[in-house]
Structure 1
Amino acid sequence: MIRLAYLAAYAVLAALGEALVARPALLWLRGQGLLEAALPWNVPLGGFALLCAALVALTTLWLASDAALGRRPRVPQHAAFLLLLAVCFGVRSWARDPQPPRDPAPALLDGLRAAAAELDRDYRGAYTPDAGQLNSALAQVTPPGYLRLGRSIPLHARVLSGADGPQLSELPGDQPGTIYVALSKDRTGAWITALGLRGILKLTSGKPALVEAHAGTHSQPGRDPLVPIYPGMRGLTGPR
């Protein structure tokens, strides 16, 4: 009876330890983009919380295996287990609450503008963009924050020649942060769009955040290139 109560008490303590760190640990792990690109939450001590959760699970398994084999756990095992629980309490107490991911749209819009400016800079009667130069310009823009396998995904350009219009869907193999530069067949026009986590970036109006370039000039994202920008002009609603 005493042995059963002992095992039940340690099972409850193990469950409590896991519950204390499970949410921040899972949020942090999910945001690392292990299976696919992800937009990470801001999780203070998230990696450490994951380590604590793993150690609690391993220590619990260690104690359970000893109990199953009829061996009495030694004092150092008890001490290590209780110390881990104390650390879990500390992580939960000291760490701030996880915060949602920052909005990647401003960085993607900046990427559209940077790509359009670089495209127009080299216009000599036709658009002949160099992906390396476009990527150099995009490297000056703050990344949108996407992660893949724990590494930041930078903004990067993909040039599409002979297009009839903008690229409005994801192409196979492309990561979020891809800037599509679709060139018209005569190379005097181009359409620039950005790929987010859920497809092509759109504005709150529902329209794609599209930059249209023609003969060395370009529009602002989502605006008609034939309508000039003038003082006091109402801005577009924010991106999503």
Structure 2
Amino acid sequence: MIRLAYLCAYALVAALGEALVARPASLWLRSQGLFHPALAWEVPYGSLLAASAAALALFTVWLGSHTAMGRKPVLPLHVAFLLLVGICLALRSASGEPRPPPDPAPALVSALAAAAAELDRSYASLYASDAAQFASSLAQIAAPPFLRLGRRIPLHARILSAAEGAQLEPLPDDQPGTLYIAISRDRQSAWLTALSLNGILELPPGSPAIAEAHAGTHSAPGADPKIPSYTPVRSGK
């Protein structure tokens, strides 16, 4: 009877500790993109919360196995167990509520605008088809909150040559943050789209965010392609 009461008491304490950290620890783990790209939740002390949850679960199993085999856990095990519960409580109190990931759309729209401007700057009767030329411009844009294996996925450009229009479907193995720069066969036109977490970036009311470039001018992402957002200054004689 005493052993049963002992087990119930420690099970309740363990359940309390796990309940405190389970949700933020789970959100942090899912945000790391361990199996596929993910949007990063803002979870202060996320790694410590996950480690504490795992350690508490292991200690609970260890204590339970000791008791099940008729062995009385020694005092240091009791102290360590209660200390872990206290750590869980302190971390949960300090971390506050997890915050949802920021919307990646503004960063992707900024990246499209920067890439379109770079495309026009390099226009010299033809649009260049070199993805490396966009690296500097995209590096100045804060990367969207996409994570893969715990690391932020950088923005990068992918050139699609001899295109007839914008790329509106993700290509195999491309990760979020990829900018598709589709250049026409005559290299006088280009269409830019961005890959978000669940497909090509769309803007309200659900239309693809396309920036169109023609002969050195481009439209803003999602705007009327007939209204250029930048007109190069041409020097006259």
Q: Would the TM-score normalized by the shorter structure come out above 0.5? A: yes
For 1:160, the equivalent position in structure 2 comes to 160
- How far did residue 229 of structure 1 move? 5.9
Aligned-pair CA distance for 1:62? 1.3
Any residues of structure 2 matched to 1:20-99 within 5 Å, and which? 20-99=20-99
How many angstroms apart in 2 are the aligned matches of 1:229 and 1:81?
62
* Aligned twin of 1:234: none
Whether contact under 8 Å (1:113, 1:220) holds in the other structure is yes
Distance 1:120 1:98 in 2: 41
Partner of 2:105: 105
Tell me, yes or no, if structure 1 residue 213 matches structure 2 residue 213. Answer: yes
Question: How far apart, CA to CA, are the structure 1 residues paired with 2:161 and 2:174?
Answer: 17
Deviations 1:160-216 (A, max 9, x none): 001111000111100000000001111110000001011111111221110000111
Percent identity of the aligned residues? 61
Q: Which residue of 2 is the match for residue 236 of structure 1?
A: none
Contact 2:193 2:200 in 1 (8 A): yes
Rounded to whole Å, the distance in 2 between the matches of 1:150 and 1:39 is: 11
Cα deviation code 1:56-82 (max 9, x no counterpart): 011111111211222110000000001
Using the TM superposition, give the Cα deviation of residue 5 of structure 1 relative to its aligned residue in structure 2, in angstroms.
1.0
- Structure having the higher strand fraction is 2
Mapped to 2, the partners of 1:19 and 1:149 lie a distance apart of 26
Which residue matches 1:235? none
Query: Given that residues 217 and 228 in structure 2 are in contact (C-alpha distance below 8 angstroms), is that contact kept between their aligned partners in structure 1?
Result: no
Alignment match, 1:194: 194
Residues 116 and 65 of structure 1, relative CA distance in 2, 3 Å threshold: same
What's the CA shift for 1:217?
0.8
CA distance in 1, matches of 2:21, 2:92: 7
Cα deviation 1:84-134 (Å, max 9, x = unaligned): 111111112222211111111111011001111111111111112311111
Structure-1 separation of matches of 2:206 and 2:83: 53
Runs of 4+ in structure 1 off by over 2 angstroms are: 227-230
Q: Over residues 32-56 of structure 1, what are the superposed CA-to-partner deviations in whole Å (9 max), with x where a residue is unaligned?
A: 0101101111111111111110110
Q: For 2:39, give the aligned amino acid.
A: L
Contact 1:181 1:193 in 2 (8 A): yes
Gaps of 5+ in 1: 231-240
1:227 matched to 2:213: no
Residue ranges of structure 2 left out of the alignment (5+ in a row): 231-237
Count residues with an aligned counterpart.
230
Q: Indicate the RMSD between aligned Cα atoms, in angstroms.
A: 1.3
